[in-house]
Chains A and B, each alone.
Chain A
């Protein structure tokens, strides 16, 4: 392919209907060492996603052709690629809906370029578990090196962010993580940020890993404080 020489630079797919902003984003991203591709319509996003194969998707919520929420769902249906929403409505349900539809993080307009770059970098740079060994949480086995989670040998598909969240909790099973600490360790926020990010992603994670998401046993809520890992069973895996 033509982009063979820049294959090691992170690739960002920008989906935004505002041409000026999209171009500006391209300029800033290129300055910061990213390769970017711009799509101005929601209904063209999936095709671009397939051909461009981005490492991160920057997604505006209001798009012609197809709603940003729908684009987000479609991407999430086939890939765990990090999605960062660009939203002008940080205080409405739109943010929660966007996060619930699969976005990993969001940046509220008007944002400072450095802030956006920091968010993208945080998504590209993964959470690093200091000891790359298998972790056990509940009846799950986490293969840190292989980025895979299995229950009784059957793999469970998690997005990278969900994997990071689970691994972060599992590596220190007795510790209670506040939402702020999780935001710092998993999302890479230095300052206090929107704790709705944590709430929504814990819900999504539970929906995938808990036997009964209504009564979670793996990711347990500690009322008024945060979350912690449930007690690990004896590893029931045989292989």
Chain B
């Protein structure tokens, strides 16, 4: 991979913060980053809710149906049994047996029938106080408590019809060891019979166990739960596969987008079919196409600009060369001219120099604007450069009566383009000479391991507040009425600033009215290193001490 994408950068500190956190942190991060996990989880949760409620409803309906039908069957059976019992008692008459025997026969008969048909019997009575043989008779092992109080009350109130309720049938321990639950749900149906032998009313209770229904329901519940779980698994699997179909193109799009961002503009997504994914890919490709064509246009524009600069350079320079040569011929021959023509020849010569400088500066600026300026770096001693520039500007300084001195001695190395640094310094020094007003110009140098700085100080008119930023503007003049005497083009400081920027350095100005100005150039010791400080102060020491 090439350079990190902005996304990577923005995520880097967060992921660091997370790695410090514990396991829940990493799970949370996975949750946040994996769209697929979120989608699948959401689908499974929703599906579980739906399956759960549907299952619950189904179970409920079936239970109700089963219980209702059991109750109906039980009640009908109880009615039949009661009718049979009454009939038998009626036909037996009141005197054939003693009440005890008659009741025992009744109960035995009922228990025998119950054993065949699958219900238990509890006979209580007499309930109206009329009979003689009180007590409880039941199917063996069944507890009489299995008949709920409510049912007893309802039956004993003496209504002729049947009453029923749900109950738990409790069993007493038995010796034969047949496997039987100690209690089970059931339906209790109650009615009364009158014993002819003593005229007492006895309550008959039929207990119909519902073990079968319970078994059925248990099985049903198991089936439903198993089916539900299988369904959920299936849904999760389907969701996983389906999201994969959606996520895969999205991931592909992300990868392609990252490649495009890293400069491979020709990257495109594959378009297959006509679905939404294909349309996404198509739109994505259109976007990439538009971006690429825009960038191509800009590149082309930049190329045209550079060609234009080059062409202008050629087109202007050739006639200027001719004029320059003609001017030289005239200038060399001025001794033989009359004074007016001779002076004109001199002026022509001087202005041609200025024109040439202006043209050169303009071309340099347009080269910066076109981004065509290239550094030729080498290890440079700024001290040597300073002395060379002082020597080169000496005639001008002499003419203006300004002394230019380099204050610091030593080696001040920086990785820089000598030609450009020399130009920066030349511009700064000529600018200082221009504004020095016959006071001296001092050049200071300093270096530490990371940066090398150079400052040019004059004691001239200085700068008004706010002007220190404007001095680098193209063709800017502090005082429009002030004449340019050193032949500056008005582009010198602008070019110097561009040169400094090209090095990744700083060029800054300070000045106060009356106290002169100082320009400071700071270059990184190694080209490309970021600058954090300058070894030299921007405000000269003498001024700072004066203030404090």
State in angstroms the CA–CA spacing of A31 and B321 once bound together.
17
**Identity of the chain B residue whose Cβ is nearest the Cβ of A61 in the assembled complex:** B314
State in angstroms the CA–CA spacing of A3 and B317 once bound together.
33
Chain B contacts for A109, CB-based, 8 A: 314, 317-318, 320-321
Q: A18-B318, A20-B322, A88-B318 are in contact. Are A113 and B328 (CB under 8 A)?
A: yes
State in angstroms the CA–CA spacing of A18 and B325 once bound together.
14
Q: Which of the residues B310, B317, B329 comes within 8 Å of A110, measured between beta carbons?
A: B317
Within 8 A of A (CB), among B313-365: 313-314, 317-322, 324-326, 328-329, 356, 359
Residue interface bits A182-219, CB-to-B below 8 A is 1, else 0 = 00000000000000000000000000000000000000
Q: In the complex, how many angstroms separate the beta carbon of B87 from the nearest chain A beta carbon? A: 128
Residue interface bits A128-172, CB-to-B below 8 A is 1, else 0 = 000000000000000000000000000000000000000000000
A28–B325 touching, CB < 8 Å: yes
Q: In the complex, how many angstroms separate the beta carbon of A5 from the nearest chain B beta carbon? A: 25
Residue interface bits A90-112, CB-to-B below 8 A is 1, else 0 = 01100000000000000001111
A24–B356 touching, CB < 8 Å: no
Q: In the complex, how many angstroms separate the beta carbon of A88 from the nearest chain B beta carbon? A: 4
**Identity of the chain B residue whose Cβ is nearest the Cβ of A28 in the assembled complex:** B325
B310–A92 touching, CB < 8 Å: yes
**Identity of the chain B residue whose Cβ is nearest the Cβ of A17 in the assembled complex:** B318
State in angstroms the CA–CA spacing of A180 and B442 once bound together.
31
Chain A contacts for B322, CB-based, 8 A: 18, 20-21, 24
Q: Does A222 interact with chain B (Cβ within 8 Å)?
A: no
Chain B contacts for A89, CB-based, 8 A: 310, 313-314
Number of B residues whose C-beta is below 8 Å from A? Answer: 17
Which has the most chain B C-beta neighbours within 10 Å: A21, A25, A27?
Answer: A21
State in angstroms the CA–CA spacing of A231 and B30 once bound together.
69
Chain B contacts for A125, CB-based, 8 A: none
Q: In the complex, how many angstroms separate the beta carbon of A79 from the nearest chain B beta carbon? A: 27
Chain A contacts for B359, CB-based, 8 A: 110
Residue interface bits B354-383, CB-to-A below 8 A is 1, else 0 = 001001000000010000000000000000
A-B contact count (CB 8 A): 51
Q: Does A114 interact with chain B (Cβ within 8 Å)?
A: yes
Q: In the complex, how many angstroms separate the beta carbon of B251 from the nearest chain A beta carbon? A: 44
Which has the most chain A C-beta neighbours within 10 Å: B310, B314, B329?
Answer: B314
B329–A28 touching, CB < 8 Å: yes
A62–B326 touching, CB < 8 Å: no
B314–A110 touching, CB < 8 Å: no
Residue interface bits A8-40, CB-to-B below 8 A is 1, else 0 = 000000000010110011011001000000000
Q: Which of the residues B319, B328, B329, B367 comes within 8 Å of A20, measured between beta carbons?
A: B319
Q: Which of the residues B310, B321, B356 comes within 8 Å of A21, measured between beta carbons?
A: B321
Q: In the complex, how many angstroms separate the beta carbon of B308 from the nearest chain A beta carbon? A: 13
B317–A113 touching, CB < 8 Å: no
Within 8 A of B (CB), among A221-236: none
Q: In the complex, how many angstroms separate the beta carbon of B177 from the nearest chain A beta carbon? A: 107
State in angstroms the CA–CA spacing of A27 and B325 once bound together.
10
**Identity of the chain A residue whose Cβ is nearest the Cβ of B315 in the assembled complex:** A88
Chain B contacts for A24, CB-based, 8 A: 321-322, 325-326
Q: A20-B319, A21-B318, A27-B329 are in contact. Are A110 and B313 (CB under 8 A)?
A: no
State in angstroms the CA–CA spacing of A110 and B352 once bound together.
10
State in angstroms the CA–CA spacing of A24 and B356 once bound together.
18
State in angstroms the CA–CA spacing of A27 and B356 once bound together.
22
State in angstroms the CA–CA spacing of A91 and B317 once bound together.
14
Q: In the complex, how many angstroms separate the beta carbon of A118 from the nearest chain B beta carbon? A: 13
B314–A88 touching, CB < 8 Å: yes
Chain A contacts for B328, CB-based, 8 A: 28, 112-114
State in angstroms the CA–CA spacing of A180 and B321 once bound together.
27
Q: A24-B326, A27-B329, A28-B329 are in contact. Are A111 and B321 (CB under 8 A)?
A: yes
Chain B contacts for A25, CB-based, 8 A: 325
B313–A113 touching, CB < 8 Å: no
Q: A88-B313, A89-B314 are in contact. Are A110 and B320 (CB under 8 A)?
A: yes
Chain A contacts for B319, CB-based, 8 A: 18, 20-21
Chain B contacts for A88, CB-based, 8 A: 313-314, 317-318
What are some 8 contacts across the A-B interface (CB < 8 A)? A18-B319, A21-B325, A109-B314, A110-B320, A110-B359, A113-B324, A113-B328, A114-B328
Give me the interface of A with B, judged by CB distance under 8 Å: 18, 20-21, 24-25, 27-28, 31, 62, 88-89, 91-92, 109-114
Give me the interface of B with A, judged by CB distance under 8 Å: 310, 313-314, 317-322, 324-326, 328-329, 356, 359, 367
Q: Given A25-B325, A112-B328, list of 7 further CB < 8 A pairs?
A: A18-B322, A89-B310, A89-B313, A109-B318, A110-B321, A112-B324, A113-B324
